[in-house]
Chain A
Amino acid sequence: MASAAETAPRWSRRRFSWRRLGRGSVPYALVAPVVIVMGAILGYPLYSLVRIALDRYGLTELIQHKGVYIGLKNFGTVLHDSVFWHTLLRTIVFAGANVGLTMVIGTFIALLLVRISTWVRLLVTSGLVLVWSMPPVVAVQVWNWMINSENGVLNYILTEIHVGNYFQHNWMETPLSQLGMVTTLIVWGALPFVVITVYAALSQVPRELVEAAEIDGARSWRVFLDVTVPVITPVLLILTSLSILWDFGVFTQAYLLIGQPHITTGNYLMGIYLFEQGYVNANFGLGAAISILMLVIVAAMSVVYVRRMIRIGDVT
């Protein structure tokens, strides 16, 4: 707080001077370009989003650049469509499973990193960084190759280690199996960020506190619960809320791994539902209504995260 307050020009209410006014406008001039660009490329489309959602807006209207006002009819159609509610429920369960798995496995690996030899730790962290840097589309293609039913390496390994007979098993058969594979892809891709962030938080745990607790005769799990957990809880909260937002809005991995021909109402996630209804079927009005519902849900979920970040931004 001190640094910003001290370097900031101090406003004096006593006397008006052009110089002061000039200095006061400096931050606004610095911020203006970003605000203008964001307003133009984001503000205007968001405004159009609301307009389009209230219109009948198909291909004809796209060519004429003008929709036909129909009020709240698009919202009525969506909210009375059982596909919407099923998709919403499926997306919540899907995101919940992904977030749960990512956070539990991620925290476990981070705790493990503290307990292993330095050379193994270096090996694991560099492996994680490598995974972190894989573009999602590339990862999807690698998954396609690994899980393909004819000679995918996954089926081979599962059969060899006697998990069962997976010879030419088709992972894309049922929606559950399809989304399960998408989950493995997403959790694999999300783990590095979670592990490295939690590990960084763990190294913030003061050694003296741990030692003092141990001298006082506390058992190791008590030390963990009373010393370690409170230090890493804020980080875990931020990571969880970020993961919820990301996994709720997933599109690329699910759309490309399941593959356009196999996308059905039975495996829709919110992002795909909106893409198919709005863009592929060229029903932009309906798509806009779905977008608004999705954005409202995400906004409600992100309140916790945004408030925490604002506090961080305000203090420093």
Chain B
Amino acid sequence: MSVRNARRNAWNVVGLAIFVVMVFPVFWMVSTAFKSDDQINSLTPTWFPLHPTLQHFRDALAKPYFWDDVKNSLIVVSVTVSIAMVLAFLAAVALSKYRFTGRKLFIVLVIGVQMLPGAGLIIPLYVVLARYHEVNALTGVILVYLTGALPFSVWTLRGFILGIPKELEEAAMVDGSTRFGAFARILLPLVAPGLVATSVFAFITSWNEYIFARVLLNDGAKQTITVWLSYFLGTSRETDWGALMAASTLTAIPVVVFFLLIQRRIAFGLTAGAVKG
């Protein structure tokens, strides 16, 4: 028994070491954001900001276009997610509740499209959108993000719908509900958590996207927050690391919050206990 305990303790130490190494960059970002410039520029690092300052956050927020680009990101992401959810949900119902000719082809499309590397599509998308004067417009980016969000959302929602026991719907129909009534009163509320989880995932991928926004939006006031952050380093040798880390923290916060939200959603059994056995 004691041998087993000793072995477990040894593994625990390895586990803690992995935790420290993995989390360190995130810790270092937040910690730097709150440090004074003297501590940041010193040759010996200060591990914890004992006298935290908010100056770097003020500097980051005062940079040109920060609020413009946050607003752009929010517009792009919310429009993309709302359209994607409605369209993807309909297609997911078709995939999980019906068998039809061409179903397999549709699945190939949905999965195959997700495999296309984004970099391979920048040239034609840029040229085509330039042809329709949609370069430097958020509409163009929204359309492009839809192609990313749709296939993935269809596939995930299909999984959530399949996770709902069909007995529930059948019971409603036996009780005199129409197919549509069963759908609206039984299926929809049960899929709601799945819809939330999927839309948060779509939110995160659109918020984090870089290459298309970089290519399709050239004007400082029309860019998204990730492109804004990527230009932060600038060309000067003297980088304001404190402000850069503060800006990075601000960019990451929405994603981290949403990610932690869905982690619980997904772990939560969706319809656990609704049907016995």
Contacts and interface: CB of A to CB of B under 8 A. Distances in A.
Interface of A: 3-9, 24, 26-28, 30-31, 33-35, 37-38, 41-42, 44-46, 48-49, 52, 57, 62, 65, 109, 112-113, 115-117, 120-121, 123-124, 127-146, 148, 151, 153, 156, 188, 191-192, 245, 248-249, 251-252, 256, 259, 261, 270-271, 274-275, 278-279, 284, 287-288, 291, 294-295, 298-299, 302, 305-306, 309-310, 313-314, 316
A135 B112 contact: no
Nearest to B99: A8
B180 to A, nearest CB: 11
Contacts of B113: 38, 42
Contacts of A127: 19, 22-23
A62 B15 contact: no
A313 B107 contact: yes
Given A133-B255, A141-B244, 13 more contacts: A7-B166, A112-B18, A127-B19, A129-B263, A137-B229, A141-B232, A151-B43, A259-B233, A274-B120, A279-B122, A279-B126, A295-B117, A305-B111
Interface in B260-277: 260, 263
A271 B214 CA distance: 14
Question: Main SS of the interface on chain B?
Answer: helix
B198 interface: no
Interface in B91-140: 91, 93-100, 102-104, 106-109, 111-113, 115-128, 130-131
Contacts of B90: 30-31, 33-34
B77 interface: no
B123 to A, nearest CB: 4
Contacts of A129: 259-260, 263
Contact of B104 (A128, A133, A135, A314): A314
Interface stretch (B49-57, B142-150, B189-197): B142-150
Contact of A37 (B146, B230, B247): B146
B207 interface: yes
B8 A33 contact: no
18 contacts: A6-B166, A24-B100, A26-B98, A33-B87, A33-B91, A46-B124, A116-B11, A127-B19, A135-B226, A141-B230, A143-B25, A251-B117, A256-B210, A274-B120, A295-B117, A299-B115, A305-B111, A306-B112
Given A34-B87, A138-B251, A146-B28, A8 B97 contact: yes
B210 A137 contact: yes
Contacts of A120: 12, 15-16, 19
Contacts of A313: 95, 107, 111, 158
Question: Main SS of the interface on chain A?
Answer: helix
A3 B164 CA distance: 11
Contacts of A123: 15-16, 19
B49 to A, nearest CB: 14
A133 B204 contact: yes
A206 B251 CA distance: 42
B208 interface: yes
B115 A306 contact: yes
A45 B252 contact: no
A52 B106 contact: no
A40 B255 CA distance: 30
Contact of A138 (B88, B97, B117, B252): B252
Nearest to B90: A30
Nearest to A291: B120
B45 interface: yes
Contact of A310 (B104, B121, B143): B104
A188 B91 CA distance: 35
The listed residue with most B CB atoms (<10 A of its CB), out of A45, A256, A261, is A45
A141 B91 CA distance: 39
B75 interface: no
Given A8-B98, A112-B14, A298 B19 contact: no
The listed residue with most A CB atoms (<10 A of its CB), out of B124, B211, B215, is B124
B42 interface: yes
A302 B111 CA distance: 10
Contact of B15 (A8, A112, A288): A112
Contacts of B19: 120, 123-124, 127
A261 B237 CA distance: 13
B124 A256 contact: no
Contacts of A6: 166
A305 B247 CA distance: 38
A52 B117 contact: no
Contacts of B188: none
A316 B23 CA distance: 38
B87 A37 contact: yes
The listed residue with most A CB atoms (<10 A of its CB), out of B23, B29, B248, is B248
Contacts of B207: 135
Contact of A4 (B8, B91, B96, B122): B96
B32 interface: yes
Contacts of A284: 123, 126-127
